[in-house]
Chains A and B, each alone.
Chain A
């Protein structure tokens, strides 16, 4: 296992390095932040002073060398827009995104596995038809539309929940509910398909023939083997959320890393863009390790 982890860490570090080089140079191609930072009437002299102050007049390769040098001391540079260390800005935002993603994915995974497994047990039955109907709606409904409708209904008309913000636990209900819907629909369908295959396996038929009750047949015998593709999809969905649920963050005023990244790209705040990408890439690397471990736990044939 240790060997496997080392191998994965080295591979991820190489990927991260390539990512840094690509993002550094590609982001510089998008333009000069001076134009966006200074008022449109600022003099050419003021613009030149700004470029000198932030080292933007240096050749690109010099800027890159300086960036890598700073990175070796874990200095990710300062945000031009916020006049603060870029890493602090990103970590602040990432905490919100991580919490939102973690809670949502735990709820989604639990609900989708239970409902998907039950739907698969009686294919074509009433429960299966209802679950399939709603999961397809969930998987195809646009986030922003659901979010706005939810705010109008539950916040403005009924007054049950806050429209947006982060002040109390109540503020988390709508964002989590909106984030929940799409992956729930998708994962439920994967669980259902995987479980149909597992439930038709000879070992499950044998268990049934021996008189094992339905619940243990579904949740003990079949589910464990049916989980491998489900874990893959859960990981994929979780990675998407760690990169930021931009729509939900924007509408509900959640100060997450997705909205931060979009704003930073638009404003050419290069240090924040790079720091955000590295933090999320690192988190996704850790998550992939966890998924690999989960594979090994679920399937004794997999050994690293």
Chain B
């Protein structure tokens, strides 16, 4: 009897092991540990989910609901001339170290992001190939000049995290920002804890403490919400997303496609590229290997992006027409029997191996000789980005491109211009159209991008577009929070409410 009681007591004690969360506290389970907690690296998904708009804020902010820019640390902005924009800073904003935000902080943040002394991802990703100068007019006014001119400079400022002018030119471990939270603890390998701070310029958030933990196993992360150990899991596997009450799918701004090398036979023949597009039964993937909520793609950017062309339609599944095009090309001497390498990346997205195998079979069904080559990420990058090998054969590379900034400029030059690092073609007309759209402003900008998408998709049939993907999140039922396209890159704690 005594033994039985002891056993029951032990079980009761173990049951109490589950953590009890106080009011205002939440736990977020990320899929990998943060390597740094550095504001100028906040464009990396998980670093962004901790830092962006929680610890460090930006001058402007992209509203994911309507694609419009809204003020954050800048109250307003205006175009001074083609090269220069003036930003008026919000008065009375203080950093968590007590210092007041002023123009010198903006200047230092920009210089730090593009400094060669430390490789910041924000600098490399958003400000490469341009020279940016920040002129401090007074404490609350800065003029930012870019060379070449950047009509979307205010949008670019939604990516630049602002740090105090005293921040050293090296990665920091205790970031100081103007956001509603401060880094309270960073226990390497275990967790990161943010707590709400006094003196924030905006409304006080409901979440007062957020603990980020790191679990690389998909099933474990998903199980943590049910076990009461986590409240938000931004990324769960689609196979685990089985509970309608807690699991959300959201467009994650990623687009999957096959980048086709348009310069090498037989891929340099438009009939072959058309045949490849017609050979794919995209509907067969949806709800099977690809989540049912994914959208068939007609462009490199998601439909909510500025200038998306509503007149474009996905290529239909028409294997008979594809076979006819292949036969026609063969009759004209195109070497259609040449082996075409299709490179896919291991772990690129769930079921990537099966998707690539299915594509290979679909291409074979219309008479194309495609060989699948699964590559690890470092090897894959070498064939995806220039400089391409001189002695390469005909090749397609499956990639997943992310553009969550709302403007095609972050995609189209890289993917389609002659000098674009991942471009598989060189078309003078397309180059000219991209340059014009990049320089356009206002309403004309959206109109200028539409024909660019048409030229790539219909006129040149440059690539094989597949899907605009979705991600899956699990959110505790006690929270009032719905993931959006922004969840792929940030997780604003101040937007999370309790039911």
Q: Which A positions have Cβ atoms within 8 angstroms of B?
A: 30-32, 35-46, 49-50, 53, 79, 81-83, 89, 92-93, 96, 148, 151-152, 155-156, 159-168, 170, 250-253, 255, 259, 266, 268
- A162 and B227 contact, Cβ closer than 8 Å, known pairs A83-B36, A253-B214, A268-B378: yes
Complexed CA–CA distance, A151 and B218 (Å): 13
Contact B421 A163 (CB under 8 A): no
Q: Can you list, as one digit per residue, whether each of B76-118 has a CB less than 8 Å from chain A (1) or not (0)?
A: 0000000000000000000000000000000000000000110
B residues near A255, Cβ cutoff 8 Å: 33, 188-190, 214
Contact B220 A41 (CB under 8 A): no
Complexed CA–CA distance, A91 and B162 (Å): 33
B388 an interface residue at 8 Å Cβ cutoff? no
A residues near B219, Cβ cutoff 8 Å: 148, 151
Closest-CB distance, B196 to chain A (whole angstroms):
22
Q: Can you list, as one digit per residue, whether each of B374-396 has a CB less than 8 Å from chain A (1) or not (0)?
A: 00111101101110000000000
Contact A46 B119 (CB under 8 A): yes
Q: Which A residue sits closest to B121, measured CB to CB?
A: A39
Q: Which A residue sits closest to B215, measured CB to CB?
A: A253
Closest-CB distance, A11 to chain B (whole angstroms):
34
Q: Which B residue sits closest to A256, measured CB to CB?
A: B189
A residues near B33, Cβ cutoff 8 Å: 255
Task: For chain B, residues 1 to 56, give those with C-beta under 8 angstroms from any C-beta of chain A.
Answer: 11, 14-15, 17-19, 33, 35-36, 38, 43
- In the complex, the 3 A-B pairs of residues with the closest C-beta atoms, listed nearest first: A255-B189, A170-B17, A83-B171
A residues near B14, Cβ cutoff 8 Å: 160-161, 170
B313 an interface residue at 8 Å Cβ cutoff? no
A residues near B217, Cβ cutoff 8 Å: 148, 164, 250-251, 253
- A164 and B224 contact, Cβ closer than 8 Å, known pairs A39-B43, A42-B124, A253-B215: yes
Could you say which of A42, A159, A253 contacts B216, with CB atoms under 8 Å apart? A253
Complexed CA–CA distance, A166 and B378 (Å): 32
* Given A35-B382, A160-B11; 10 other pairs, CB 8 A cutoff: A35-B378, A39-B43, A40-B381, A40-B421, A43-B129, A43-B421, A53-B116, A83-B171, A251-B220, A255-B33
B residues near A165, Cβ cutoff 8 Å: 190, 213, 215, 229
Contact B414 A41 (CB under 8 A): yes
A residues near B422, Cβ cutoff 8 Å: 40-41
Closest-CB distance, A269 to chain B (whole angstroms):
9
B223 an interface residue at 8 Å Cβ cutoff? yes
Could you say which of A81, A96, A161 contacts B189, with CB atoms under 8 Å apart? A96
Closest-CB distance, A80 to chain B (whole angstroms):
9
B350 an interface residue at 8 Å Cβ cutoff? no
Q: Which A residue sits closest to B379, measured CB to CB?
A: A31
B330 an interface residue at 8 Å Cβ cutoff? no
Contact A250 B227 (CB under 8 A): no
B125 an interface residue at 8 Å Cβ cutoff? yes
Complexed CA–CA distance, A180 and B432 (Å): 65
Could you say which of A41, A251, A259 contacts B421, with CB atoms under 8 Å apart? A41
- Can you list 8 A-B contacts with CB-CB less than 8 angstroms, sorted by A residue number? A37-B119, A38-B124, A39-B43, A156-B223, A165-B215, A251-B220, A253-B220, A255-B214
Closest-CB distance, B203 to chain A (whole angstroms):
31
Contact B15 A159 (CB under 8 A): yes
A residues near B188, Cβ cutoff 8 Å: 89, 92, 255
B residues near A259, Cβ cutoff 8 Å: 216
B148 an interface residue at 8 Å Cβ cutoff? no
A residues near B43, Cβ cutoff 8 Å: 39
Complexed CA–CA distance, A231 and B13 (Å): 36
Could you say which of B38, B119, B216 contacts A38, with CB atoms under 8 Å apart? B119
Contact B18 A162 (CB under 8 A): yes
Complexed CA–CA distance, A259 and B217 (Å): 12
B335 an interface residue at 8 Å Cβ cutoff? no
B316 an interface residue at 8 Å Cβ cutoff? no
- A168 and B226 contact, Cβ closer than 8 Å, known pairs A39-B43, A82-B35, A93-B189: no
Contact B17 A161 (CB under 8 A): yes
Contact B215 A164 (CB under 8 A): yes
Task: For chain B, residues 467 to 498, give those with C-beta under 8 angstroms from any C-beta of chain A.
Answer: none
Contact B15 A160 (CB under 8 A): yes
Complexed CA–CA distance, A232 and B399 (Å): 49
Report which residue of A32, A41, A50, A253 has the largest number of chain B beta carbons within 10 angstroms of its beta carbon: A41
Complexed CA–CA distance, A174 and B9 (Å): 19
Report which residue of B35, B121, B129, B214 has the largest number of chain A beta carbons within 10 angstroms of its beta carbon: B35
- A31 and B220 contact, Cβ closer than 8 Å, known pairs A93-B189, A165-B190: no
Closest-CB distance, B26 to chain A (whole angstroms):
15
- A160 and B226 contact, Cβ closer than 8 Å, known pairs A31-B379, A38-B124: no
Contact B18 A159 (CB under 8 A): yes
Complexed CA–CA distance, A30 and B376 (Å): 11
Contact B17 A40 (CB under 8 A): no
Contact A50 B119 (CB under 8 A): yes
Q: Which A residue sits closest to B115, measured CB to CB?
A: A49
Complexed CA–CA distance, A82 and B173 (Å): 10
A residues near B226, Cβ cutoff 8 Å: 156
Closest-CB distance, B494 to chain A (whole angstroms):
26
Contact A36 B381 (CB under 8 A): yes
Complexed CA–CA distance, A266 and B129 (Å): 29
Complexed CA–CA distance, A151 and B119 (Å): 40
Contact B377 A36 (CB under 8 A): yes
A residues near B379, Cβ cutoff 8 Å: 31
Could you say which of A42, A45, A151, A166 contacts B220, with CB atoms under 8 Å apart? A151
Contact B223 A151 (CB under 8 A): yes
Complexed CA–CA distance, A110 and B220 (Å): 31
Complexed CA–CA distance, A268 and B377 (Å): 11
Task: For chain B, residues 419 to 477, give those with C-beta under 8 angstroms from any C-beta of chain A.
Answer: 421-422
Complexed CA–CA distance, A38 and B18 (Å): 40
Closest-CB distance, B55 to chain A (whole angstroms):
17
Contact A46 B229 (CB under 8 A): no
B residues near A83, Cβ cutoff 8 Å: 35-36, 38, 170-171
Q: Which A residue sits closest to B381, measured CB to CB?
A: A35
B residues near A268, Cβ cutoff 8 Å: 378
Contact B189 A41 (CB under 8 A): no
A residues near B214, Cβ cutoff 8 Å: 253, 255
Q: Can you list, as one digit per residue, whether each of B155-175 has a CB less than 8 Å from chain A (1) or not (0)?
A: 000000000000000110000
Complexed CA–CA distance, A70 and B215 (Å): 34
Complexed CA–CA distance, A6 and B72 (Å): 66
Q: Can you list, as one digit per residue, whether each of B351-381 has a CB less than 8 Å from chain A (1) or not (0)?
A: 0000000000000000000000000111101
Complexed CA–CA distance, A161 and B13 (Å): 10
- A163 and B124 contact, Cβ closer than 8 Å, known pairs A155-B223, A255-B33: no
Closest-CB distance, A95 to chain B (whole angstroms):
10
Complexed CA–CA distance, A37 and B41 (Å): 11
- A41 and B125 contact, Cβ closer than 8 Å, known pairs A36-B377, A53-B116: yes
